Amino acid sequence: MAAVKSEYREGNGFIAEIIRTERRKTADIRVEEGAVSVVVPTNLALSRIDELLKTKRTWIKEKIALHREAQPASEKQFVSGEAFSYLGRNYRLKVEEGAFQPVRLLKGRLVVTVPKGKDQPHMIRNALIRWYKRQAEQKLREKVERYAPIVGVEPTDVRIKTFKSRWGSCTVKGRLEFNWRVMMAPNRCVDYVVVHELCHLKRHDHSVAFWKEVGRVMPDYGVNKDWLKHNEPSLGGW
């Protein structure tokens, strides 16, 4: 068993996700896409984690600042009322102020609780990314398990990644990797991406034979392929 549960700590300008796992003997701080996570041994005390975050605060803030500078300008302001797409349907964001709570999908709204302050939009953005990644982890694994027997393959693993210009990939070792942003597309388009990568376990090219295999499993793949091509710029460009 890997991660057993997640907790969150406020770090004076950022939120750190605490991931407890039996695989770690020491703590490891990561700043990915501007989001802070600390992977720690299962029984490490919160006081030790807080001390570590305090010691590394300058380094963490520098990493976050570098990420922000590298990001293209976003039209999103991360305020209540803004729409965010999930499996092709728009959900309105509802921001509540208080001690941090991760995003929850409640009564048709994406609800997040964050402290008030100048860093609030950044915290909300990272909370949303974490939520999308969690959904991707669950939904995409379910879809792989459903379609793999139909395609007739057995992937070695499923990973969630951040890609700039692709929805998924298939490694030579049989691992499937998916872009978490695909969760903003309609459900059938997500199915297409899964089928596409599973078919690459049979053929590592885009030959006529490859597309024939995709079509065998999903006859309407062309519609979904075209939708993704034309709507890619609007999916998660924030």
The phi and psi torsions of 6 (rounded to 5 degrees) equal -115, 145
End-to-end distance of the chain based on CA atoms, in angstroms?
Answer: 33
Residue 210 in 3-state DSSP? helix
User: Looking at residue 4, what is its pLDDT?
Assistant: 46
Output the average pLDDT for the chain.
92
Q: Which amino acid is at 70?
A: A
**CB 168: neighbour CB atoms within 10 A?**
20
The answer to whether the Cα torsion of 73, 18, 79, 189 is positive or negative is positive
- Contact call for residues 188 and 146 (beta carbons, < 8 A): no
Taking the CB of residue 102, how many other CB atoms lie within 10 A of it?
A: 17
Is the separation of the CB atoms in 94 and 80 below 8 Å? yes
Closest CA to 100 of 82, 112, 118, 117: 112
Question: For the chain, what is the total number of helices (H) and then of strands (E)?
Answer: 6, 11
Closest CA to 39 of 6, 1, 67: 6
Q: What pLDDT is stored for residue 5 in this prediction?
A: 57
Which secondary-structure segment (H or E) carries 123? helix 120-151
**What is the reported pLDDT for 94?**
98
Kindly tell me if the per-residue pLDDT of 137 is higher than 50: yes
**HSE (side-chain half, CA atoms, 13 Å) at 92:** 5
Name the amino acid, one letter, at 90: N
Q: What confidence score (pLDDT) does residue 3 get?
A: 43
How confident is the model over 205-224, as pLDDT tens digits? 999 999 999 999 999 999 99
pLDDT tens for 43-101 read 999 999 999 999 999 999 999 988 888 776 677 899 999 999 999 999 999 999 999 99
Domains for the chain: give ranges and CATH numbers.
Answer: 3-70 (no CATH), 83-131 (no CATH), 138-234 (3.30.2010.10)
In the block, residue with structure tokens 């959904």: 135
Question: Residue 231 burial by CB count (10 A; 0-12/13-18/19+): exposed, middle or buried?
Answer: middle
